[in-house]
Amino acid sequence: MSSFDKFLTVILDFNFERLKPIYQGFIVMLFFSIFFCTCSYFSNDAKICKDAYKDMFDEKFSGLIIKKHLNKDNRMSPTFKLKDFSEVFGYSTLWEKAEVGDSLAKKASSRFVKILKKDTTIVLDMNVAFRYHDTFPENKE
């Protein structure tokens, strides 16, 4: 019998009830610790996404993109530099679709970003980008 077969036999023959109570308790605590950490991680991820969404929702920008780069001062975050030298964070869908020479426009309290290209206009719904829908009041204009 090969060592792999022996290993599989030991795993398949494992009986939790034959363990000493202290080892049983350790395994149960380990299981709940992993479960708790996993739940905490994903709930924190949702909170970070929600906070980023709120920041984006309140943001207002408009201008011609003159540079598309990774910002070394902000952990290599994707950034657009506009003609008025303001910088806009390049959210994932925005980063993929906008190019140098396009114009960006976003009103404050709106989730929609317009990318004005030479021949077309693309309107991005940032709810889709964040995969997050919230009940913020929106500017209907």
* pLDDT computed for residue 114 by the predictor: 93
Could you tell me the mean pLDDT of each successive run of 10 residues in the chain, 141 residues long?
84 85 92 87 62 82 92 85 89 86 92 91 83 47 42
**CA–CA gap between residue 126 and residue 20 (Å, rounded):** 54
123 CB-near residues (< 8 Å, 6+ apart): 112, 113, 114, 115
Are 108 and 139 contacting, i.e. CB atoms less than 8 angstroms apart? yes
**End-to-end alpha-carbon separation of the chain, Å?**
75
* pLDDT computed for residue 141 by the predictor: 42
Q: Which of 125, 110, 122, 96 is nearest to 54 (CA)?
A: 110
pTM of the model: 0.59
* pLDDT computed for residue 131 by the predictor: 66
Q: Where are the domains of the chain?
A: 1-141
Cα of 111 vs its chain's centroid, Å: 16
